[in-house]
Amino acid sequence: MLVPEASAALARATRTGRLGTESATKARALARSLLDQVVPVDVDGVVADRAWDLASMFILRGYDAVHLASFERVHAGESILVAADGDLVRAARAIGHAVAAPGG
């Protein structure tokens, strides 16, 4: 889910003019190299059940609840959730996770 989500975010930033053509090309290359280091998480019963709880507790969309539940599955002491969705950011911070959010 992270690969198409990152691609969509970069495409949106390019369409809206937040990234110029050259910057977008560099950002896509950087994102691809960073995504190659991501450990995939299967959406198994444990992740799905936690996403169920998170969606209800924080009024998250299903997609965002799965992202947060997946992050919790692989969370290590120095892990930082990177997200731009305000609801997801608020939920992660409410639980006590470190979050990097563009513009906030």
pLDDT at 1 over 80: no
Q: Where are the domains of the chain?
A: 2-35, 45-100
pLDDT reported for residue 9: 86
pLDDT at 75: 82
Q: Work out whether the CA dihedral 93, 77, 52, 95 comes out positive or negative.
A: negative
pTM of this prediction?
0.76
| Cα 85 → chain centroid | 8
Q: What pLDDT score was predicted for residue 102?
A: 78
pLDDT digits (tens, 9 = 90+) for 60-91: 999 999 999 999 998 877 889 988 889 999 99
Q: Tell me what the pLDDT averaged over the chain comes to.
A: 91
